Amino acid sequence: MKFSDKPKTMIPKGVATLLPDGAAQRRLIEKEILSSFSRWGYQEVIPPIFEYLDVFSLGVGEETVDSAYKFVDRATGRIMVLRPDVTPQIARMASTLLADQPRPLRLCYSANIFRHQEEHVGRERELFQLGGELIGPSDAESDAEMISLTIEILNRLGLKNFRITLGHMAFTQGLLRPFMSSPDFFKQLLHSVSKKETAALERLLKQEAVEEKTQREVLSLLDLFGGVEVLTRAKTLTDDSACRKAIARLEQVYNILKSYGYQDYLLIDLGEVRGFDYYTGTIFEIFSEGVGAELGGGGRYDHLLEKFGRPSASTGFALYIERIQAALEHLDLKSGKQPVIDLMVSHLPEERNRAIALTAELRHAGFRTIRQGVLSADAQLSVSDAEAQKVSKVVFLQAEVASSSVNLIDVSSGDVQNLSQEALITWLQANGSIS
């Protein structure tokens, strides 16, 4: 049998393997985001990786169900699904397991999701999400909390050059509601609006003999993008009460965010139709230079929890960690280039026992520490090895040095400190030597 010489792909398309640098950065990002959630009073939950399709599908649309990976439960014969979204799982928890807990509920999560995606840039099949859900409040303050928390998280990660587009689904629904009775036409209409295809949208409206005033209102969705002045323009566009109420709510949210000093991050996009049948109020998406897809987004979904048995106002958001990593790499920030090991205890053979004991003490104190035996008393060789292994500092032990002393060498600067072994940990903690 003759085998092809053509190399075979080792893993499926749309999934990633993280090597040490990428894995370390991923964990740092995850830790920072979860810490931010904790500071804002959010409690972490861990949802299952798969669920019964008939239960999960209560909380998602047809498109999400179609994109999910499905398989048969051998024990029951029921169809199961690898989660394509986490929010329906949180809604199920809140409506059942947490039904008796007082509102508001502030919940957060860290989870991977799985969706079949066409093979093109920026659309992975396995995505790693961190997100938060605020269940109970229905006011503008809760909408603004989601967006403020998002901005704080991105700032703490080191991202500055990003923008958040704000919209309100009730405004879009108010303008497009008259067309929902014709499903095929409405589907084409949504597609043209989502792709900002002016010519195609004009053609569709004329084919259906839509009156000119309504045509102008629908076509305006493609132009209602920009600064806060867009809200003023939108007020003059329609007399629909739902649309006017949506604009008033979005103004409230914007003004709250302005009081935080966050207005420079904000843009208005009233033509967003993502999640048309899912979202009910304020929505937002995050974009950053150098990344070809949104970093994340969210919005208000006040009808989701009732599908699992307990109605409740709710809003939330999720961040895609792969894309945040790409944004950080594009900016060449230090977060991906810092040493990943704090200390290397370097020693000659006769100092092995002392080095083993010292290494254990340093690890117990919280320092990421490795130990390396050497044959040369030349400390510079140890520094070169440490640099190659991305170590911040070398603790060098020599036989001729008094057993109570060590040389602490900064790998980056080459500075040397001679310290007593007893004072080493105290000195490291006092001088902020964890990288």
DSSP letters spanning 244-309 = HHHHHHHHHHHHHHHHTT-GGGEEEETT--TTTTT--SEEEEEEETT-SS-SEEEEE-TTSGGGGT
**How large is the angle between the packed helices 140-157 and 20-39, nearest 10 degrees?**
140
Q: Report the number of distinct structural domains present in the chain.
A: 2
Beta bridge partners, 397, equal 347
Inside any domain, residue 231 = yes
Residue 64: the pLDDT is: 87
65, 106, 340 from 435: Cα distances, Å? 44, 32, 8
- Overall average pLDDT of the 374-384 stretch: 87
Q: Are 435 and 342 in contact (CB under 8 A)?
A: yes
Residues 213, 285, single domain; the answer is yes
- Overall average pLDDT of the 383-394 stretch: 91
Inside any domain, residue 401 = yes
Tokens 């928390």 belong to 149
Q: 282-288 and 296-300 as β-strands: parallel, antiparallel, unpaired?
A: antiparallel
pLDDT surpasses 60 at 434: no
- Overall average pLDDT of the 148-164 stretch: 95
Output b/e per residue, 244-272; b: 16+ Cβ within 10 A: bebbebbbbbbebbeeeebeebbbbbbbb
Residues 309, 403, single domain; the answer is no
Instruction: Identify which of 112-126, 201-215, 257-271 has the greatest average pLDDT.
Output: 257-271
Inside any domain, residue 115 = yes
Q: Are 285 and 146 in contact (CB under 8 A)?
A: no
DSSP letters spanning 164-197 = EEEEEHHHHHHHHGGGTTSHHHHHHHHHHHHTT-
Residue 405: the pLDDT is: 86
Residue predicted with more confidence, 17 or 268: 268
- List pLDDT tens digits, range 299-345: 999 999 999 999 999 999 999 999 999 898 876 544 445 567 899 99
Percent of the chain with pLDDT over 70: 93
Residues 76, 125, single domain; the answer is yes
Instruction: Compute the distance between CA of residue 58 and CA of residue 297 in angstroms, rounded to an integer.
Output: 22
Of the residues 278, 304, 334, the one at which a domain ends = 334
Q: Are 174 and 220 in contact (CB under 8 A)?
A: no
CATH number, residue 125: 3.30.930.10
Residues 232, 84, single domain; the answer is yes
- Reported as half-sphere exposure (CB side, CA atoms, 13 A), residue 332 has a value of 0
Q: Are 315 and 336 in contact (CB under 8 A)?
A: no
Task: Take residue 165 and report the two structure tokens written for it.
Answer: 């587009």
- Overall average pLDDT of the 170-197 stretch: 88
Instruction: Compute the distance between CA of residue 257 and CA of residue 166 in angstroms, rounded to an integer.
Output: 11
Instruction: Compute the distance between CA of residue 386 and CA of residue 368 in angstroms, rounded to an integer.
Output: 13
Confidence of residue 3 (pLDDT cuts 50, 70, 90): very low
Residue 147: the pLDDT is: 98
Nearest residue to 131 via CA among 155, 107, 160:
107
Residue 211 identity: E
CATH number, residue 378: 3.40.50.800
Of 86-95, 214-223, 331-340, which gets the smallest average pLDDT?
Answer: 331-340
Residues 261, 359, single domain; the answer is no
Inside any domain, residue 384 = yes
Percent of the chain with pLDDT over 90: 62
pLDDT surpasses 80 at 57: yes
Which contacts (CB < 8 Å, 24+ apart) does range 31-37 have?
Answer: 32/153, 32/156, 32/157, 33/110, 33/130, 33/153, 33/157, 33/319, 34/108, 34/110, 34/130, 36/149, 36/152, 36/153, 36/156, 37/108, 37/130, 37/132, 37/149
pLDDT surpasses 70 at 418: yes
- List pLDDT tens digits, range 245-273: 999 999 999 999 999 999 999 999 999 98
Contacts of 254 (CB under 8 A, 6+ apart): 166, 228, 231, 263, 266, 268
Residue 361: the pLDDT is: 94
Residues 260, 347, single domain; the answer is no
Inside any domain, residue 299 = yes
Residues 343, 233, single domain; the answer is no
pLDDT surpasses 90 at 142: yes
Residue 336: the pLDDT is: 44
Q: Are 295 and 288 in contact (CB under 8 A)?
A: yes
Residues 314, 356, single domain; the answer is no
Instruction: Compute the distance between CA of residue 15 and CA of residue 124 in angstroms, rounded to an integer.
Output: 6
Average pLDDT over the chain, rounded to whole? 89
Contacts of 342 (CB under 8 A, 6+ apart): 362, 367, 368, 369, 391, 392, 393, 433, 434, 435
Which domain does 34 fall in, by range?
20-334
Residues 62, 208, single domain; the answer is yes
Tokens 């989502």 belong to 194
Q: Note if the bond before 104 is cis, omega within 30 degrees.
A: yes
Q: Where does residue 109 rank: exposed (0-12), middle (13-18), buried (19+ CB within 10 A)?
A: buried
Residues 377, 303, single domain; the answer is no
Inside any domain, residue 242 = yes
Of 48-57, 68-77, 97-106, 205-214, which gets the smallest average pLDDT?
Answer: 205-214
Count of residues for the chain? Answer: 435
pLDDT surpasses 70 at 231: yes
Inside any domain, residue 89 = yes
Residue 103: the pLDDT is: 96
Residues 266, 360, single domain; the answer is no
Inside any domain, residue 409 = yes
Residues 198, 291, single domain; the answer is yes
Of 36-50, 196-210, 274-288, which gets the smallest average pLDDT?
Answer: 196-210
Residue 225 identity: F
Instruction: Please indicate, yes or no, whether the overall pTM of this predicted structure exceeds 0.85.
Output: no
